[in-house]
Amino acid sequence: MGMAGFTIALMMIGVIISPCVYGKEFSDHQEIEVEKLLKLLNKPALKSIKSEDGDIIDCVPIHSQPAFDHPLLKNHTIQMRPSFIPESTSMYTKTNPTQVWHKNGRCPENTVPIRRTKKEDILRSKSHESFGKKTTSSVPEDNLSNNHEYAIMNSRRGKYFGT
């Protein structure tokens, strides 16, 4: 096989593989939708920190965090200090939790750390429409007659108030 044959074979392999990422067919329309979703999810950052595990942490202004995209939180006022601290916390010694990415920097004051969403994250979900949404099976069904409420929390250690 000459150089021309090799080049044609290589181009054919590229054409076959290109619309397929992570074993999923990927059309131009889906590509555009994923890019739109990434633009919506990844807010402009004041600072970005690369973690040693490959993640990028964006330091987003506190008022621009994704939670405030929800219509019910549009004019929400952020309370920076609690209005009430239980007395029992006076004996509590504060520990600063650390993240792997803290080795490479920390977010400035009045910003929140948000892991940057990558195209691969969206492609791992069933569809770009369902990305980041809870499945209905993970939320207990409301039953108003039994007067029970459910909350789930996982913790390794520490004292928590208001969970």
How do residues 9-45 score in pLDDT, each as one tens digit? 666 665 555 555 555 556 777 888 888 888 888 899 9
For residue 89, the one-letter residue type is: T
4 and 68 assigned to the same domain:
no
Q: Name the residue range of residue 29's domain.
A: 1-41
Output phi, psi for 111, to 5 deg: -125, 160
- Indicate whether 49 and 70 sit together in one domain: yes
Structure pTM?
Answer: 0.58
Task: Determine contact, residues 128/33, Cβ cutoff 8 Å.
Answer: yes
31 and 59 share one domain: no
Q: State residue 158's pLDDT score.
A: 65
Q: What's the structural domain count of the chain?
A: 2
Residues contacting 85, CB < 8 A, separation 6+: none
pLDDT at 163: 47
- Are the C-beta atoms of residues 123 and 34 closer than 8 Å to each other? yes
In a domain, 149, yes or no: no
68 located within any domain: yes
What is the pLDDT, as a whole number, of residue 34?
A: 86
50 and 112 inside one domain: yes
At residue 83, the pLDDT reads 80
User: Do 37 and 3 belong to one domain?
Assistant: yes
pLDDT in tens, the chain (163 residues): 577 666 676 666 655 555 555 555 567 778 888 888 888 888 999 999 999 888 999 999 999 998 888 899 888 888 888 787 776 655 556 666 678 888 899 999 999 999 999 888 887 876 666 676 666 665 566 665 666 777 777 666 666 655 4
69 within domain boundaries: yes
Token pair of 126 as six digits? 């069933």
Q: Within a domain: residue 153?
A: no
**H or E stretch covering 25:** strand 24-25
Residue position matching structure tokens 């789930």: 152
